[in-house]
Amino acid sequence: MPMSKLPLNADAVELAELIANGQISATEALDDALERTALIDPKLNALCLLRPEQAREMAAQIDQSLVRARRAPAELAALRRERPFLGVPTVLKDTGTAALGLPSTQGSRLFGQIDWPLDSELVCRYRQAGLVPFGRSTSPEMAISPSTEALAYGGPTHNPWNPQISPGGSSGGAAAALAARIVRIAHGTDGAGSIRIPAACCGVVGLKPTRGLVPMGPLAGEGWGGLLVEHMLTLSVRDCAAALDASAGQDVGAPYSAPAYAGALAGVVRTLAGEEPAAMRIAVLDTTLDGDPIDPQVADAVRRIADTLQSLGHQLEQARPQVRTEQILRPMIDVVACGTAMAVERELLRRGKPLAANELEPTTIGAWRHGCSLTGAQYLARLSELHQLNRVIGRFFDDGANGNGFDLMLMPVLARPTAPLGRWAMNNPDFLDYRLGPQGLIHYSPFTPIANMTGQPAISLPLATSDQGLPIGIQLMARFGRDAELLRLSAQLERVLPWADRIPPIAASV
């Protein structure tokens, strides 16, 4: 089966099935991804640091293993269970995880090309699941912006739905390449919404898993004081669940431990087949945490999804936890700034010379300087503030004594429709103003940081569109460790409000 005939709405699980059944080879799937990269990516600028030779070797090995396995149906079935994405091409985020033979730049001119000495545990698990990484996806410099416009790539990354608007960030290249069907699954990271924001902007699925559920070692123990997690952006809920099944579980020496994970894919498949999830109590947030209004289109989209969930038998209630947006964002910003400062200082020490002109963008310089201005005691004080706020959110979800707890919170991903390119370019040297000022990010993305602070799982689903036909992401956040429940409800919504046929025109242009 030529890849040109593969439906544009086919997800990664379907592609793996076609490869396993011999309708297309893993090598042909990779060739198609590379061809689409050559034809589409010049318009998007979503990918970088391609290494097709290494990927071709892996694809050829997979094809050989499938030739052998097809001689015995039981062996082929076992291979499919063990390697759910067998032969599926993918890309890893440039500011993300270590991978042998796949260098990264952190989206910055400062670092050059970082050649990793090994695969991270997460990449080991991805390779074991059959994924074939062939390059990196673009990110804002050091992942500290909600828009992917890093100067290191020679220009911004464009949204497949409209080249004049942002694809989101920081996993913007991943979301753009995925929406354009260059790949059918793409790795991202999320420290304050960096999977969910681009998923919302580009109309794909983006899950931030529970803290500690996905490994970050062995080169790192945590990211940004535990705010950061990694996962895949996907076209479908079943892909999201299958990727979590393949990667979940602590690695050796991990500083955080998520609750035992029983796996999500079976539950999601049952839901897709018509077995409904249990009724849930869901808090609806169609204002900011402070009660301030958000864009009417976005608020209306949240209320429409609330009505849908109500019709499916869930209990919906307007409610919000008693915390303010700035209470969350102010200490988080200091933690992020300290993480930025640590990375910059480490690189300057390694190379033994000071920062040169034009090696960092103005906002990154502002974050570096702000991080360096904080003491160790202040850093720990910010973490303590976040931990206290965690307790408030936790009680909001788990108020068992009064019977008023919630299983989920429904809210938007962004308070406004996707911003135009340039709106969040990193040219403001005042990092605090960039984030918290009158024109700052706090007014655009007040919702996603909540789950990073608490460690709870949260997902962006492409359930709505703006008056201009652009995606609006709807976010659901579950209790800590309840990723499987979150995915089951997401699958129910996908079945009732399917999005598979909602594809940007650029995807069909080749």
pLDDT digits (tens, 9 = 90+) for 31-55: 999 999 999 999 999 999 999 999 9
Q: How far apart are the C-alpha atoms of 253 and 275, rounded to whole Å?
A: 38
**pLDDT of 401 higher than 50:** no
Provide mean pLDDT across the span 222-244: 97
pLDDT-derived band at 6, boundaries 50, 70, 90: confident
Catalytic pick among 65, 166, 170, 460: 170
Residue count of the chain: 510
Residue 445 DSSP label:
-
pLDDT tens for each residue of 238-285: 999 999 999 999 999 999 988 888 888 888 888 877 788 999 999 999
Give 400's contacts (C-beta < 8 A, 6+ positions apart): none
What are the residues facing 90 on neighbouring strands? 133
Ranges of H-type helices in 45-130: 52-69, 73-82, 121-128
Name the residue ranges covered by the structural domains of the chain. 3-323+400-508
What tokens appear for 502 in the block? 């909602």
Provide mean pLDDT across the span 176-184: 98
Q: How confident is the model at residue 510, as a pLDDT?
A: 85
Q: How confident is the model at residue 274, as a pLDDT?
A: 79
Q: How far apart are the C-alpha atoms of 391 and 163, rounded to whole Å?
A: 42
Q: How confident is the model at residue 264, as a pLDDT?
A: 85
What tokens appear for 70 in the block? 């097809």
Could you give the angle at the alpha carbon of 229 between the alpha carbons of 225 and 231, nearest 5°?
A: 175
**Residue 170 annotated in active site:** yes
Q: Are 17 and 130 in contact (CB under 8 A)?
A: no
Catalytic pick among 25, 93, 139, 236: 93
Residue 224 DSSP label:
G
Q: How confident is the model at residue 235, as a pLDDT?
A: 98
pLDDT tens for each residue of 408-421: 999 999 999 999 99
Residue 251 DSSP label:
P
Burial 113-127 (b: 16+ CB within 10 A, else e): eeebeebbbbbbbbb
Mean residue pLDDT of the chain comes to 96
Distances (CA, A) of 149 to 159, 168, 245, 472: 11, 9, 32, 21
Q: Which residue is it, tokens 């602070």?
A: 453
- Class of domain 3-323+400-508 (CATH, top level): alpha beta
**Residue 4 annotated in active site:** no
Reported in sequence order, the residue ranges of 176-244 that DSSP labels E, i.e. its strands, are 185-190, 205-208, 229-234
pLDDT tens for each residue of 410-453: 999 999 999 999 999 999 999 999 999 999 999 999 999 999 99
pLDDT > 70: percent of the chain: 98
**pLDDT of 395 higher than 50:** yes
pLDDT tens for each residue of 460-503: 999 999 999 999 999 999 999 999 999 999 999 999 999 999 99
Ranges of H-type helices in 180-236: 196-202
Which amino acid would we find at residue 374?
L
Provide mean pLDDT across the span 285-309: 98
Distances (CA, A) of 385 to 369, 372, 390: 22, 20, 9
Q: How confident is the model at residue 103, as a pLDDT?
A: 98
- What are the strands of the beta sheet with 205-208, ordered from one edge? 185-190, 229-234, 205-208, 458-465, 471-478, 408-412, 281-284, 315-318
Q: Are 184 and 436 in contact (CB under 8 A)?
A: no
Q: In whole angstroms, what separates CA 483 from the centre of its chain? A: 14
Give 191's contacts (C-beta < 8 A, 6+ positions apart): 143, 170, 223, 224, 227, 228, 229, 336, 452
Catalytic pick among 104, 166, 194, 236: 194
**pLDDT of 3 higher than 80:** no
pLDDT tens for each residue of 189-204: 999 999 999 999 999 9
3-class DSSP assignment, residue 502: coil
**pLDDT of 323 higher than 80:** yes
Q: How confident is the model at residue 102, as a pLDDT?
A: 98
Q: How far apart are the C-alpha atoms of 115 and 101, rounded to whole Å?
A: 7
Q: Are 56 and 34 in contact (CB under 8 A)?
A: no
